[in-house]
Amino acid sequence: MGKIYIIDVTNRDGVQTARLGLSKLAKTMINMYLNEMGVYQSEFGFPTTKHESNYLKANLELQEMGVLQPIRLNGWIRATVEDVDRAFALVPGLKDLSLSISTSSQMINGKFQGSKCEDDILNMATEAIEAAKAHGAETIGVNAEDASRTDADFLLKFTTEAKEHGAQRVRYCDTLGYDNPFTIYDSCKRLAQEVGIDIELHCHGDLGMAVANSIAGAMGVIDGGQNAFINTTINGIGERAGNADLVAVVLGLKKSKGLAGKYKFGVPIRLSKAWKISKYASYTFNVPIPINQPGVGANAFAHSSGIHADGVLKDPENYELYDFKELGRGEPELVETGREICSGEYSGISGFGHIMGKMAIEFDSREVAEEVLELARYANVLAQQPLVADELYFVAKYPDITRKLLTLTPLA
Ligand SMILES: [Zn+2]
Q: What is the pLDDT of residues 373-384, one digit of tens each?
A: 999 999 999 999
Q: How many CA atoms lie within 13 A of 188 on its CB side?
A: 37
- Whole-angstrom distance, CA of residue 3 vs CA of residue 242: 25
Find the 231 Cα to ligand 1 centroid distance in Å.
9
| pLDDT higher than threshold 80 for residue 249 | yes
Find the 238 Cα to ligand 1 centroid distance in Å.
7
Q: What does R_g of the chain's alpha carbons equal in angstroms?
A: 22
Mean pLDDT throughout 65-88? 98
Find the 371 Cα to ligand 1 centroid distance in Å.
39
* 196 compared with 351, residue with greater pLDDT: 196
pLDDT tens digits, one per residue of 122-135 = 999 999 999 999 99
Find the 9 Cα to ligand 1 centroid distance in Å.
8
N-to-C CA span, the chain: 51
pLDDT tier at 356 (50, 70, 90 boundaries)? confident
Find the 174 Cα to ligand 1 centroid distance in Å.
8
Q: What are the phi and psi torsion angles at 17 (to 5°)?
A: -70, 140
pLDDT tier at 296 (50, 70, 90 boundaries)? very high
Find the 14 Cα to ligand 1 centroid distance in Å.
8
| pLDDT higher than threshold 80 for residue 411 | no
| pLDDT higher than threshold 90 for residue 361 | no
Find the 146 Cα to ligand 1 centroid distance in Å.
9
| pLDDT higher than threshold 70 for residue 319 | yes
Give the pLDDT confidence score for residue 363 in this predicted structure.
Answer: 83
